[in-house]
Amino acid sequence: MDQILRKNVKRSSQTGFTLVELLVVIGIIGLLVGLISVAVPKAIESGMKAKTKGELTAIVAAVKAYRQEYGGWPVNLPDGAGDENTVGWCDGDKSKTLMKILCASPQDTSGLNPKGVRFLEGPAQDGTFLDPWNTQYIVQLDTNDSNSVWYYGNISLSVIALSFGPQVGGQTQQLNPDDPKCKNIFSWR
């Protein structure tokens, strides 16, 4: 009888996990992985949007600082071009030129920043300033000094900037800001 009790005592002192304990741990790990796989992409996109919003605000501030310094807009306007609000759209090559001017890039040949003041930090030497989704920022200036620019209706600001944000199917979408499908990011919102 003593031997039976001693064997049981020895057996009960052995360490190890039961099948139930292992299944519980595996279940908890699976649950955590599931939660993380949903939360991490949302957090990354939220961070990208916050970065974009900050860069848009910096671009608008840089354009306003330029106007304060030089008394005009950092764009070349043809004669009589200041009569329309939409003349001040800066996208594509105009956006590159604008960024070169604001960043006092050595490649700026426009002569519109003669003091070489660096109003903006960020874009590459060639003037390409891309959002986190690799599309250029777009800027609109109130070139006729009406204190209003147009983007799906008049906006009472002298400068606006926007990004198309996360793109659906790799295509940029310029949508009405009030459209629930709109993923554009705006400097004024």
Q: Are 50 and 131 in contact (CB under 8 A)?
A: no
Q: pTM of this prediction?
A: 0.74
CA distance 152 to 43: 30
Token pair listed for 138:
């777009």
Q: Where are the domains of the chain?
A: 24-186
To the nearest 10 degrees (0 to 180), the angle between helices 93-102 and 19-70 is 80
Predicted pLDDT of residue 59: 92
> pLDDT grade, residue 54 (50/70/90)?
very high
User: Which H or E run contains 101?
Assistant: helix 93-102
The Cα-based distances of 31 to 23, 119, 148, 159 in angstroms read 12, 49, 52, 47
User: Amino acid identity, residue 185?
Assistant: I
Q: What is the pLDDT of residues 117-173, one digit of tens each?
A: 999 887 666 777 888 888 888 888 887 778 777 777 777 888 888 888 887 555 555
Q: What is the pLDDT of residues 7-52, one digit of tens each?
A: 555 555 567 889 999 999 999 999 999 989 888 988 998 999 999 9
Predicted pLDDT of residue 153: 73
What does the pLDDT average to over 66-83? Answer: 71
Predicted pLDDT of residue 175: 63
Asked if pLDDT for residue 86 goes beyond 50, the answer is no
Q: Among 60-64, 68-72, 100-104, 166-170, which stretch is predicted with the lowest mean pLDDT?
A: 166-170
CA distance 151 to 23: 57
Q: Among 50-54, 67-71, 78-82, which stretch is predicted with the lowest mean pLDDT?
A: 78-82
Asked if pLDDT for residue 1 goes beyond 70, the answer is no
CA distance 41 to 37: 7
Pairing relationship of beta strands 185-186 and 138-141 according to DSSP bridges: unpaired
Asked if pLDDT for residue 80 goes beyond 80, the answer is no
User: Which H or E run contains 50?
Assistant: helix 19-70
- List the one residue out of 156, 157, 181 whose CA is nearest residue 167: 181
Predicted pLDDT of residue 174: 58
> pLDDT grade, residue 57 (50/70/90)?
very high
Predicted pLDDT of residue 107: 79
